[in-house]
Amino acid sequence: MNDSICHEIPHSFDAMHKFSEVYAERTGTFFCVDTSVTAVVIEGLAKHKDVYGAPLCPCRHYDDKVQEVANTYWNCPCVPMRERRECHCMLFLSKDNDFASDKQVLSKELLVNFLR
């Protein structure tokens, strides 16, 4: 693999990054202690937003992503997150979760470094 090839960041990355920070603060949840998890999930949300027009949960398998976007159940924040504060992706964690950090804000530069 050529190290000079730069990983392309999805167009919606900034929007999903900002959304994630605002939502974490609003819900009193925290990002994963492993920042690479946060980076990859935000990237996945951004890719889905770019392709499908909605931030479909990137941590699940779908037979038909277009139909899943239309159903809205797994669009972030998904129904389990909104109703029970359960995030399968480990993007939004309660403070008592063993994998929760104390962070609700992370720099874009830090996140992007995990995606290269």
In the chain, the domains with their CATH numbers are 13-97 (3.90.460.10)
Tell me if 76 is assigned to a ligand binding site: yes
Amino acid, single-letter form, for residue 114: F
**pLDDT at residue 1 tops 70:** no
DSSP E strand stretches across 1-116: none
Tell me if 78 is assigned to a ligand binding site: yes
Which among 6, 32, 59, 89 is annotated as catalytic?
A: 59
Amino acid, single-letter form, for residue 109: E
Report the pLDDT averaged over residues 78-86: 97
Respond yes or no: is residue 59 known to be catalytic: yes
CA 2 vs CA 54, 109, 110, 116: distances in Å? 32, 21, 22, 11
Cis peptide before 77 (omega within 30 of 0): yes
Tell me if 89 is assigned to a ligand binding site: no
Q: Which two tokens stand for residue 65?
A: 């992503």
Give pLDDT tens digits for 18-61. 999 999 999 999 999 999 999 999 999 999 999 999 999 999 99
